[in-house]
Structure 1
Amino acid sequence: MLRTPTTRLLAIGAAASLALSLAACGGSEDSTAPAEDPKELVLSLVPSGDIDSITESAKGLESFLSDRIGIPVRAEVTESYAAAIVAMKSDQAQVAMLGPIGVVQAEDQAGAVPILQSVRYGSASYHTQWFTNDPETYCADEVTVVDGLKYCNGTDAAKTGPTGEVALSKVKPGTPIAFVDQGSAAGYYYPATQWGMVTGGDALVDLDAQFAGDHDAAVLAVARGDYPVGVSFDDAREDVAADEPKVASDVVVFAYSAEIPNDGIVVAGGLSKELRTKVTDAFTTMAKDPKGLKTLEAVYDIEGLVKVDKAALKKAKSVEENFGE
C-alpha cells in the first residue's frame, strides 16, 4: 500500500511551482518565434492508467503526427504532470497532452499555448467520482447496480456534478483517501477543493492524502481494501473491473464533483506560429480520421477534439490557485 506522509500535503500545492520557480510567463499566439524551429517535436504524455498500454498506443500518435506535420514526432511518457511541464519549460518537450490543471500550469509556468480540448461521451467536461468500500458509512440510500457497477446517493442517475455532496461531510479529517496524482484535476485538485467547501475544513492540512499514481490504481486500492475512500475520473472502474472482480462487487460511487474541463493539448509558445498551426491542424485531422481517432481513443479515450474553452480553463485556474504556494 502506498503511504505518503500527511505533512507532504502542505507542499503539494506548490510542488509544480517549486520545480518551476524560474518559469516564464504564460504563452500567447503572438509569442516571438525562434530563429529556427526544431527538427523534431517531442510529445509529452502522462499515463492515466497502465503505462505499457499508453507507451504502445503512443506509437500511433508518432506516426500520424509525423506524417501530417512533416517532421519527426517522438512521444515520451513522463511520470507526472509536473514532470511534463518541466520538460516543456526546459525545451525537452514542445507538445504535451495534459489534464486541465496541467494545461493552466503549463501556460502560466512554461509559456505554453493551449490549442485543443478533448471530447468524451459527447462532452468537453467530466467530473470526479468519489467511491468507497464502506457504503454503510457513505451511502444515505440503497445501493443500486447499473451495468454491473454500484452507485448510491443519486449518482446512478446524475449526468453531471456535483451530486451526493452531503456524504462528503462523512469523510472525516484523517481518513486515508486514495487520490491519484498531485497534479491531477479529477484525482486531486477538484475533490480536495470540494471537500473543503462542503466541510469547511482545510483540505491541505486535514485530509490524509495517499497518491496511488494513476486512476486505475486508485480504484484498485479501494477495491482491495487498502483505503476506505478514493477518487478518480468517471468512470475509471470500467477500465479495471474485468481484471479485478472486487471492483464491481465492493466499489460504490457515492458523490461527484463539479464539472471539470476535459484534458487538452498545449504547444510550446516559442514555436513559430506556422509550426503551431501545423500541430493544431494535424491533431484536428487525426480526430476526424477513422484510423487517427482509434489511436486517440487508445491513448486517452478521446472521441473528438474541439477548440479550447477559455472560460472553463479560467475556472480550472481558480481551483489551482486555491492551493497557493
Structure 2
Amino acid sequence: MLSVTLGLGLAVAMTACGSNADGGDEEIEKLTMGFIPSQDADELADTAQPLADQLSEELGIEVEAELMMDFVGLIEAMRTQQVDIGFLNPFGFVQAEDRADAEVILKSERDGETSYLAQYSVPADSDIESIDDLVEQEGLVWAYADDLSTSGYLFPASQLRNMGVENLDNHFNRFTVGGHDNAMIALLDGQADFATTFEDGRDSVADEFPDVYDDIRVIGYTDPIPNDTISVRSDLPEEMKEDIKQAFLNFNDDEEMLEVLYDIYTWTGIAEATSEEYDIVRDVFEEFEDELTEE
C-alpha cells in the first residue's frame, strides 16, 4: 500500500518545519494541507484552492492545498513532514497518530452533528432488503471507496463480522472504487450489488444523477462514528497549531468558507476535537490492524 506514496512530489513543501536540532522553533514560511478525494479529484483540487488562499490570509504565510492519492499517502506525507495539515477521516487520524505522531485539533460538523453513520445502499430493484440479507448471501459484489475508509469499509466490515461473516474475502467480492461518489455510480451502472458510504452517499452524485434517490435504496446503517478531523504534525510549534485552529474556527462565521467546506466534504461547520473522542475508532483499528499492516 505504501507504493502509492511514490511520486507525491512534495519535497519542496518542507519549508514549514517544526523544531530545529537545538530544540528551538524554526520560522514557518509555508504550510501544506493534504486532502483525499471523496468526489472527482480534479473538481476537489479546484474547490480546495479558495480554502488555502483564505487560510494563507488568516495566518499570514503561504498555504498550499495538495491532493493526495489516498489515506496511506497522506499519512506517509505527514510522517515525513511533507504535509503539515491533514484532512483525515477518523480511521486515517488514528493511523496518523500512531504512525506519524499526528495531533487532532478540530473535527467537522454536519448540520450540527459531530458524528455520522456508515450507510448500506443497493439498487432500487434489488431483492436485498436488509444487512441481514448481506450476511446470508455469499458472492455479492461490494463497492466502497478505500480499504482505509472509516464509513466506506472499516465500520461496515466490523459490523458484518459481528453479525456472522467469518471471512469477508470469501463471503464477498469486494472492490475499491476511489471515492464515495464512485461507489454510488457502481450501483447505478450495475457493477455492484451493494455499496457502503457515508450518510447519505447519494448526495455526492445527485447533481449528475438527479434520480439517484429513486434508483438507489438505503437498507441500513452502522453505529455512530465520530466525524472527520483536521489534524496537524505534532512537532509544529504550539503557537502555530493554535493559530491554525483559530483560523479554521473563524470559518464558522464566514459564509463563503462554509460553502467551500461543504463543497469539499459536505461540512457545515468546524468544532474543537480531542484524541479521546476517537477511542471507538481505535477499537475497530485493533480489529483490522494485522490485516491492514501486512502489506
Query: TM tier, shorter chain?
Result: 0.7 to 0.9
Distance in 1 separating the partners of 2:67 and 2:208: 24
Q: Does 1:294 align with 2:294?
A: no
Distance in 2 separating the partners of 1:175 and 1:290: 43
The aligned residue for residue 303 of structure 1 is 268
Measured after TM superposition, the shift of residue 173 of structure 1 is 3.6
Amino acid at match of 2:242: T
The aligned residue for residue 64 of structure 1 is 54
Amino acid at match of 2:215: D
Question: Aligned ranges for residues 158-177 of structure 1 at < 5 Å?
Answer: 165-170=131-136, 172-177=137-142
Which structure ranks higher in relative contact order (CA pairs < 8 Å, sequence separation ≥ 6)?
1
Amino acid at match of 1:55: A
Amino acid at match of 2:150: A
Amino acid at match of 1:303: T
Measured after TM superposition, the shift of residue 292 of structure 1 is 2.1
Work out whether residues 258 and 269 of structure 2, in 8 Å CA contact, stay in contact via their aligned partners in 1: yes
Which segments of 5 or more consecutive residues in structure 1 lack a partner in the other structure?
A: 1-14, 20-31, 140-163
Measured after TM superposition, the shift of residue 245 of structure 1 is 5.3
Q: Does 1:241 align with 2:206?
A: yes
SS at the partner of 2:223? Answer: coil
Distance in 1 separating the partners of 2:28 and 2:46: 25
Q: Does 1:273 align with 2:238?
A: yes
Deviates more, 1:280-289 or 1:101-110: 280-289
TM-score (norm: length of structure 2): 0.86
Work out whether residues 31 and 85 of structure 2, in 8 Å CA contact, stay in contact via their aligned partners in 1: yes
Measured after TM superposition, the shift of residue 37 of structure 1 is 4.1
Cα distance change on mapping 1:92 and 1:136 into 2, 3 Å: closer
Distance in 2 separating the partners of 1:41 and 1:303: 24
Q: Does 1:107 align with 2:72?
A: no
The aligned residue for residue 22 of structure 1 is none
Cα distance change on mapping 1:165 and 1:176 into 2, 3 Å: closer
Work out whether residues 113 and 269 of structure 1, in 8 Å CA contact, stay in contact via their aligned partners in 2: yes
Measured after TM superposition, the shift of residue 211 of structure 1 is 0.4
Cα distance change on mapping 1:243 and 1:294 into 2, 3 Å: closer
Identity of aligned residues (%): 30
Distance in 2 separating the partners of 1:276 and 1:204: 41
Measured after TM superposition, the shift of residue 134 of structure 1 is 6.4
TM-score (norm: length of structure 1): 0.79
Amino acid at match of 2:223: A
Measured after TM superposition, the shift of residue 168 of structure 1 is 3.6
Amino acid at match of 2:135: S
Aligned residues between the structures: 274
Distance in 2 separating the partners of 1:289 and 1:46: 23
